[in-house]
Structure 1
Amino acid sequence: MTNNQLIARRDLAVLWHPCTQMKDHEQLPLIPIKSGQGVWLEDFDGKRYLDAISSWWVNLFGHCNPIINQAVKAQLDTLEHVILGGFTHESALELAEKLVEITPPNLDKVFYADNGSSAIEVALKMSFHYWRNLGQTRKTQFVTLENSYHGETLGALAVGNVALYKETYGPLLMDVITVPSPDCYHREAGESWRDYSLRRFADMENTLAKHADEVCAVIVEPLVQCAGSMRMYDPVYLKLLREACDKYGVHLIADEIAVGFGRTGTLFACEQAGISPDFLCLSKGLTGGYLPLSAVLTSNKVYEAFYDDYQNLTAFLHSHSYTGNALACRAALATIGIFQSQDVLGRNRHLAQIMAKAAERFKEHPHVAEVRQTGMIMAIEMVKDKLTREAYPWQQRRGLKVYQYALSQGVLLRPLGNVIYFMPPYVINEQEIERMADVAWQGIQRATQD
């Protein structure tokens, strides 16, 4: 029995893995990872895997990055954690100052949580509570987009719209208003992303006109609906949405948990529309993939609605034990420091061009309906029929075949159903991009053979 097999046996005796049908592992071997360096992971038998998905989209600057490593080690010798209720510390303070500095205008206050779903819960509760504090108690609803995903806790799940994750828990969830998505996969032949996104905005406009008095906020993933098969839309939708939220007196929550920190070509996706949301939710890449941490940024206007005598019971009493954890904050500061000391966005633009070139051939594949890209996110949509875009039955699990083949070739791809995507760390090089694309091509060839 190999080292990998021994560890996998121990694991399956005690561990229940996330987003997994555990019975799959009767045939699908677990991959125990011993170490990581740059874009590479190494298992206990010495095999290496190119991490083409940034370990669930969190790793920006490679595994065991020396700059982030050193920052966390230095923090560990000073302070590991302290309660943030009634106390503060240097790392949490410095990170809050830095986040206010680098995010879009009018985001003046930072509220920490410890994962993406928790950040969404904070934003939802804060928006609802804001209106309540102002006496607008009819505002209890949220507007969300079809095919959206905002996390797995009950509030976050409620404002999402991917049936695979949400449907089972329907009886536990609050009702929301769902509007058709500007997802440009559905545009007409010859129609531009911009024109389609403009056309789809009419649905949002009509919804807000009808329901504004009862709506707290609209929540969206700017530019890319990541867990919703990496579907994409034009920034013009965000611009119109900001204008409509202002017009109808509704908050805008931007969930940039997956798309923030350079993924879409700008530091934050909202920048491409020239807008500031009322709430900006950040996590994943915030710490460079090192430690769990999230942040919700909002305006002084929102903050002031809670600032009152205690006896009036307007305080925001949401909390997490590990709020503002010093080690996580220091990792985040080191991550932001890399952005500010290096031309990360410029290099990413170059890498995005390399990815586009490497994926050109997929456009002509008889079982690929679309190749789409926003910055450092690229998606390849496998279909049964290219002409009609008829999808493969989900039960056939064609994406799983790509995953298995890629692992055999030393590349970690984790398709979303029949959508293969690339979201690599920003330290990937041209040769590694070509390898990633070659393996994906061969995987699709095998997965689409009937």
Structure 2
Amino acid sequence: MNNQEMMRRSLAHVWHPCTQMKDHEWLPLVPIKRAEGAWLEDFEGKRYLDAVSSWWTNIFGHRHPVIVEQLKQQLDTLDHIMLGGFTHEPVVELSERLVRLAPPGLTRCFYGDNGSSAIEIALKMSFHYWQNAGKPQKRRFIALTGGYHGETLGALAVGGPSMYRDTYAPLLLQPIHVRSPDCYERGAGASWEDHTRQMFRHMELALEQHAHETCAVIVEPLVQCAGGMRMYHPLYLTMLREACDRHGVHLIADEIAVGFGRTGRLFASDWAPPPRRDPDAQPGITPDFMCLSKGLTGGTLPLAVTLTRESIYEAFYDEYQSGRAFLHSHSFTGNPLGCRAALATLDLIEETRVLATNQLLSQYMWAQTAEIRGHRHVAEVRQQGMILAIELARGGRKETPFPAGERRGLRVYQHGLEKGVLLRPLGNVIYFMPPYVIEPKEIELMCKTALAGIDQATRG
């Protein structure tokens, strides 16, 4: 089998995600035969550095031996069993460990298959909670512009980017969208913290006007990933937690892309500073729902979990005749293989001191982008832990972005593939979200390739 044959067979029957398939008349697919660590390899032996962790999932690289070995052992014991009326050791152990690691107060784990399903669970559970609590008027959600939470209808509805949702608008819930605290939009001379305080007024106003009809506010803590890796100050999370408490509204933290060390702490919610009234308190907030997926299994198998509070669980706990049960399920809910992969991933997080290692890697990544930061067509380079984003704009001016139709980011992607680096862009944003096993020399290759690709893509 060679690359051309695999591409031909794929294009004959596979409808690829997030893709205008006609592009593949001129943009070749990349067939991958095997992978290991931070590297992918095609059918003819060419290797590609996976600078985006295969859509942000393979946090410990591909085929990590610890995860592989635990999966092999699990296959010898139990592959799958429905979680309705049954249970098994991997799901019990995983739930116990997640509760210990999660922000305090999150005590219940409800499993799904992927990130979108975790969001659907949180939305439905919040809505249903208020019905059970005798407040049926609370049926709307507040979301941030620029946010992204998945492609199923509920998750899509609370997303912001129009390119994903506008076509399906007649099918969707109508959330209340509040301006994002995105610090790329801050004015000249404004600090990230000042901008955050100013932008929070929009959220406060929305809650004052709509709390009576609102189930929950949903946010991606710190980084709006699919919306262009736009970032904001963690103070926003502290202020939002306090405001949701004041107004009697749930808070949903979508940690699907930013959880498990990606931002520099185990969860992005852990970055929230203590409130002013209690400066000696521990940092971090506890959302009412926390959604996890992607890195949960180290990218090896699909699995998602929505964690919530005991008080929310208790609102559904009643005699069968009450009709208060949460009747939501997926065929592969709590799949033993997925849970075992997640347990192996947690082992690696706890045993390899990954947060400390990532701090050094993220510092090195920043240092290696010095020349990119000075590029005349780069408006901003921003970073949160192991996420680094490069915003392209004509002349480096925020007010003169390259037209989307010019697809400048795609040109960088094409250059990266030629040089053996996977740099899948988000429009005109080039970003690095590499696996935690990346080495300094690989970071150097990643940054040099991105710089050369930006040079080439911004000519003319």
**What TM bracket, shorter-length normalisation?**
over 0.9
Deviation at 1:342, TM superposition (A): 1.4
1:321-380 CA distance string (max 9 Å, x none): 000000000000000001111110000000000000011111211100000000000000
Write the letter of the residue equivalent to 1:401: R
Give the aligned partner of residue 145 of structure 1: 144
1:363 counterpart = 2:362: no
CA distance in 2, matches of 1:331, 1:7: 29
Give the aligned partner of residue 191 of structure 1: 190
1:400 counterpart = 2:418: no
CA distance in 2, matches of 1:309, 1:120: 27
1:235-291 CA distance string (max 9 Å, x none): 000000000000000000000000000010000000111100000000000000000
Give the aligned partner of residue 11 of structure 2: 12
Deviation at 1:64, TM superposition (A): 1.0
Which residue, 362, 378, 381 being the options, matches 1:352? 362
Write the letter of the residue equivalent to 2:412: V
1:17-56 to structure 2, matched below 5 A, reads: 17-56=16-55
CA distance in 1, matches of 2:260, 2:157: 26
CA distance in 2, matches of 1:34, 1:389: 43
Give the aligned partner of residue 333 of structure 2: 323
Write the letter of the residue equivalent to 1:435: L
CA distance in 1, matches of 2:132, 2:349: 38
1:129-168 to structure 2, matched below 5 A, reads: 129-168=128-167
Q: CA RMSD in A?
A: 0.7
Which residue, 419, 434, 440 being the options, matches 2:429? 419
1:285-300 to structure 2, matched below 5 A, reads: 285-300=295-310
Write the letter of the residue equivalent to 1:297: L
- SS of residue paired to 2:67: helix
Deviation at 1:385, TM superposition (A): 3.0
CA distance in 2, matches of 1:374, 1:198: 19
CA distance in 2, matches of 1:388, 1:378: 18
The answer to whether the Cα contact below 8 Å between 1:131 and 1:137 also exists between their aligned partners in 2 is yes
CA distance in 2, matches of 1:385, 1:179: 30
- SS of residue paired to 1:110: strand
The answer to whether the Cα contact below 8 Å between 1:4 and 1:32 also exists between their aligned partners in 2 is yes
- SS of residue paired to 2:216: strand
Deviation at 1:388, TM superposition (A): 5.1
1:28-107 to structure 2, matched below 5 A, reads: 28-107=27-106
Give the aligned partner of residue 389 of structure 2: 379
1:394-423 CA distance string (max 9 Å, x none): 011111100001000000010000000000
Deviation at 1:229, TM superposition (A): 0.2
1:17-51 CA distance string (max 9 Å, x none): 00011111111111110111110000001000000
Structure 1, unpaired ranges of 5+: none
Deviation at 1:387, TM superposition (A): 3.4
1:94-124 CA distance string (max 9 Å, x none): 0000100101000000000000000000000
1:170-185 to structure 2, matched below 5 A, reads: 170-185=169-184
The answer to whether the Cα contact below 8 Å between 1:369 and 1:389 also exists between their aligned partners in 2 is no
Deviation at 1:300, TM superposition (A): 0.4
1:433 counterpart = 2:443: yes
CA distance in 2, matches of 1:138, 1:360: 53
Write the letter of the residue equivalent to 2:124: K
CA distance in 2, matches of 1:203, 1:292: 36
Q: How many residues align?
A: 449
Write the letter of the residue equivalent to 2:339: C
Give the aligned partner of residue 284 of structure 1: 294
CA distance in 1, matches of 2:132, 2:388: 43
CA distance in 2, matches of 1:361, 1:281: 37
CA distance in 2, matches of 1:389, 1:44: 44
CA distance in 2, matches of 1:341, 1:221: 27
TM norm structure 1:
0.99
Percent identity between matched residues is 62
Give the aligned partner of residue 303 of structure 1: 313
Give the aligned partner of residue 118 of structure 1: 117
Give the aligned partner of residue 229 of structure 1: 228
Change (3 A) 1:338 1:367: same
- SS of residue paired to 1:108: strand
TM norm structure 2:
0.97
Structure 2, unpaired ranges of 5+: 273-283
- SS of residue paired to 1:267: coil
CA distance in 2, matches of 1:377, 1:325: 30
CA distance in 1, matches of 2:398, 2:310: 50
1:333 counterpart = 2:332: no
